[in-house]
Amino acid sequence: MDGVRSEFALKARYIFPVEGKPIVDGVISISGKRIVAVGENVFSQPPIDVGNVAIIPGLTNAHTHLEFSDLAAEIGKPGISFTEWIREVVAHRKRRSADTPNVEALRRRMDRAVRQGIWESVRSGVTMLGEIGTNQTCDRFPVATPIDCTVFRETIAFDREKADDAFGELAAWTDSPRIEYRRGLSPHAPYTVHPDLIDRMCRYSKQTKTPLAMHLAESFEELELLNSGCGPFVALLQDLDAWDASVIPRGISVGWYLKTLAKSHHSLVIHGNFLTEEEMLFIAAQAERMTVVYCPRTHAFFAHGQYPLKEMLGCGVPVAIGTDSKASNPDLNLLAEMCFVREHHPEVKGSEILRMGTLNGARALGQSQLTGSLASGKRADLALVNLSDETANDPHDLLLAESETAVRVLSGGRLIEPMSMLVD
Ligand SMILES: [Zn+2]
């Protein structure tokens, strides 16, 4: 565990393998980067006793935008309308550029924000991230991250003329041998990407076996735009000089976007706050290649009402968890998201919440064979979460009781020192 020994066993009050029941006074054996046994010490040396701790798989934050990780607070006030928030985000980006002396300084500032976001993630037990990158952050994403990142390059091209260029840029990026991190595609949202381009990107995702993430059914205003071609989105896009009434055909629906996303290798439906039962059943029928990503505290920030988590799980929809960015969330603490779900969805079992924050996220990013649960042969991506001295019938209640607890992380069998990532 100290980075010197390559073979060791850890003993803890609880081990949560995720695929299997929690183990009391559990032991896990690690050799190099891999788990070699769960439930027994296979080495001759005694295990390292980490005490009143839960050992869980490293968490997966399936959706974030790290460029905003240097924000001191969310953009806008809680309950802000979604389109008003986008206006403020656009204004923030403009101010950020204006306040920075030149392009290189802006890039360095964004690099720092990305590293800060990774550091913050690690502090809450995250070992895997689904990051939405802009053109700028994608080009300079730190290769040597100590945790596993999939970077989805965001595409915005609403009118047809821009769509071909945008696709060309994207294809050049996905083909580039210079890029060493795992790549994903991200048509931003129905109101910023031409439907034909979304279709093309989904087919390309399948062809290149690349995951694809898209914001969908996120706000009431988005549904209004799709249903009637009216509402605050039209005014917003007109003000941004990005509106063309002919782009989104009348009669198009969230269902059309879902059917298109289902053509992808694997798609992440980001948010899905307003999915109907029929749409949930469609996703459930495509469960092998679709995942909904619930961003609990961001959902609450926009006061969207009750998230249909119970309904989704009831339909068999695979659900993962994301923080979204610090533009709509106070921090990037994924454990806090899971505690929030526990508090606000008491009908959902703790074991299900843990699965959403681990294995379901790894599966969405195509990495569940490698990580996301504690099993022999998987990579030793672990979070060690301090527990209180309380007892509980269901040990998940202990794990999901306190989000501000100390957490240490092993990624590939190595203890991660988060502060080291802040050094330029
Ligand atoms: Zn997002």
Going 202 to 318 to 300 to 252, the CA torsion angle's sign is: positive
Q: How far is the CA of 193 from the centre of ligand 1 (A)?
A: 15
Task: Give Cα 111 to chain centroid, integer Å.
Answer: 19
How much is the pLDDT for 393? 93
Residues 161 and 52 in one domain: no
Q: Give me ligand 1 centre to Cα 394, in Å.
A: 33
Query: Is 423 a domain residue?
Result: no
Same structural domain, 381 and 267: no
Domain presence at residue 236: yes
> What are the backbone dihedrals phi and psi of residue 340, each rounded to the nearest 5 degrees, phi first?
-65, -45
Distance 20 CA to ligand 1 centre (A): 32
* Whether residue 309 is found in the same domain as residue 405: no
CATH value at residue 19: 2.30.40.10
Asked whether residue 240 falls in the same domain as residue 315, the answer is yes
d(CA 400, CA 345): 12
Q: Tell the residue number behind the tokens 């802000």, with chain if given.
A: 80
Asked if residues 244 and 159 have their Cβ atoms less than 8 Å apart, the reply is: yes
Q: Could you tell me if residue 130 is inside a domain?
A: yes
Q: Is residue 201 included in any domain, yes or no?
A: yes
Query: Judging by DSSP bridges, how do beta strands 414-415 and 407-411 pair with one another?
Result: antiparallel
What CA–CA distance (Å, rounded) separates 424 from 413?
25
Ligand 1 centroid distance, CA of 207 (Å): 25
Q: How far is the CA of 65 from the centre of ligand 1 (A)?
A: 6
* Distant-in-sequence, close-in-space partners of 420: CB < 8 Å, separation ≥ 6: none
Domain end among 364, 385, 407? 364
Distance 69 CA to ligand 1 centre (A): 13
Domain end position, chosen among 323, 344, 364: 364
Shared domain for 406 and 273, answered yes or no, is no
Residue 2 lies in a domain: no
Query: Are residues 149 and 226 both part of a single domain?
Result: yes
Q: What's the gap in Å between 63 CA and the centre of ligand 1?
A: 6
Q: What range defines the domain where residue 36 resides?
A: 7-58+373-416
Pair of tokens at residue 356: 């959403």
Residues 51 and 145 in one domain: no
Q: Is 422 contained in some domain?
A: no
Find the 354 Cα to ligand 1 centroid distance in Å.
22
Same domain, 173 and 41: no
Note whether residue 389 is domain-resident: yes
**Where residue 326 sits, what CATH number does that domain have?**
3.20.20.140
> From the CA of 16, how far away is ligand 1's center (Å)?
29
Report the pLDDT value the prediction gives residue 334, as an integer from 0 to 100.
96
Tens digit of pLDDT at every position of the chain (424 positions): 554 579 999 999 999 999 999 999 999 999 999 999 999 999 999 999 999 999 999 999 999 999 999 999 999 999 999 999 999 999 999 998 898 888 888 888 888 999 999 999 999 999 999 999 988 888 777 767 888 999 999 999 998 889 999 999 999 998 888 787 899 999 999 999 999 999 999 999 999 999 999 999 999 999 999 999 999 999 999 999 989 988 998 889 999 999 999 999 999 999 999 999 999 999 999 999 999 999 999 999 999 999 999 999 999 999 999 999 999 999 999 999 999 999 999 999 999 999 999 999 999 999 999 999 999 999 999 999 999 999 999 999 999 998 888 789 999 999 987 655 554 4
- Same domain as 181, residue 154: yes
pLDDT of 414 reads 92
In a domain, 223, yes or no: yes
**Cα(272) to centroid of ligand 1, in Å?**
11
Same domain, 45 and 26: yes
Residues 139 and 256 placed together within one structural domain of the fold: yes
Could you tell me the distance, in angstroms and rounded to a whole number, from the CA of residue 399 to the centre of ligand 1?
Answer: 27
If asked whether residues 157 and 19 sit together in one domain, one would say: no
For residue 150, what are its two tokens? 């999939």
Distance 293 CA to ligand 1 centre (A): 10
Query: pTM for the complete prediction?
Result: 0.95
The alpha carbon of 190 and the centre of ligand 1 are apart by a number of angstroms equal to 13
From the CA of 110, how far away is ligand 1's center (Å)?
17
Question: Structurally, how many domains does the chain consist of?
Answer: 2
pLDDT score for 424: 44
CA-nearest of 257, 256, 248 to 226 is: 248
Q: Is 165 exposed, middle or buried (0-12, 13-18, 19+ CB in 10 A)?
A: exposed
Residue 418: per-residue pLDDT: 63
Ligand 1 centre and the CA of 141: distance in Å? 18
